[in-house]
Amino acid sequence: MLKKQTVWLLTMLSLMVVLSAYYILSKPDEELSFDDSTVNNLDVLNNDESTFGAEVTNITNKGHDEWFAMLRMEVQNERSMSKERYNNVVKSSSTSTDEKNEALNKIQEIDQVTTKETILQERILAASEEYEDVLVRYNNDKLHVHIRTSDLSVQEANHIMQLAYSEFGDIPVEVDFNS
């Protein structure tokens, strides 16, 4: 148990050192800049049956490859830590059966969300050849869809939100893209 924690701690410290070095050595022109253009309350099905509150935002970022990679690593690390905590609950001899079952259910939920995100990412990438990369994150009952493309129309955003609805159900969706 102690070895796992030590390895995890060293891994996180190494990651922090690498990311710190990257930020220190990165050029100022690689910073994110946000465009305030948003489209709110887009109609997901292109008719009046269902409307989600959503945002489409243009993000301009010359270091977008690094941003996508960093965001993916952050999500993966958070989920790995959560699963490790739940696994520790399951392995503990002092926890009740109900607590162990709850921890196992949480692990299963994390795995299901990760699978749904992956499926949705693949479906969005398949929807247009113009999408260079897609990152889907489910966080606090809200879905964040980040797309690397030069332009994203309202119709494309509607289609993406329809895909999100079919995979995740009726939840708020935020779609942003970078150029």
| Fold type of domain 31-178 | Helix Hairpins (1.10.287)
Q: Which two tokens stand for residue 150?
A: 């030069």
The amino acid at residue 113 is V
Q: What is the 3-state secondary structure (H, E, C) of 61-119?
A: CCCHHHHHHHHHHHHHHHHHHHHHHHHHHHHCCCCCHHHHHHHHHHHHHHHHHHHHHHH
* Nearest-angstrom CA–CA distance, 9 and 12: 5
pLDDT for 63: 56
Q: What's the mean per-residue pLDDT of the chain?
A: 78
Of the pLDDT bands very low, low, confident and very high (cuts 50, 70, 90), residue 155 is very high
Residues 6+ apart with CB under 8 A from 50: 43, 44, 165, 170
* Nearest-angstrom CA–CA distance, 83 and 8: 13
In the chain, what percentage of residues exceed pLDDT 70? 73
pLDDT for 15: 75
Residue 58 has pLDDT above 90, yes or no: no
Opening angle at CA 19, ends 14 and 23, nearest 5: 150
| Residue 35 C-alpha from the chain's centroid | 20
Q: Answer with the residue of higher pLDDT: 148 or 20.
A: 148
Least confident of 50-59, 82-91, 110-119: 50-59
pLDDT for 8: 77
Listed by start position, the domains of the chain span 1-28, 31-178
pLDDT for 32: 43
Of the pLDDT bands very low, low, confident and very high (cuts 50, 70, 90), residue 64 is low
pLDDT for 126: 92
pLDDT for 12: 77
Residue 116 has pLDDT above 50, yes or no: yes
Average pLDDT value for residue range 106-113: 94
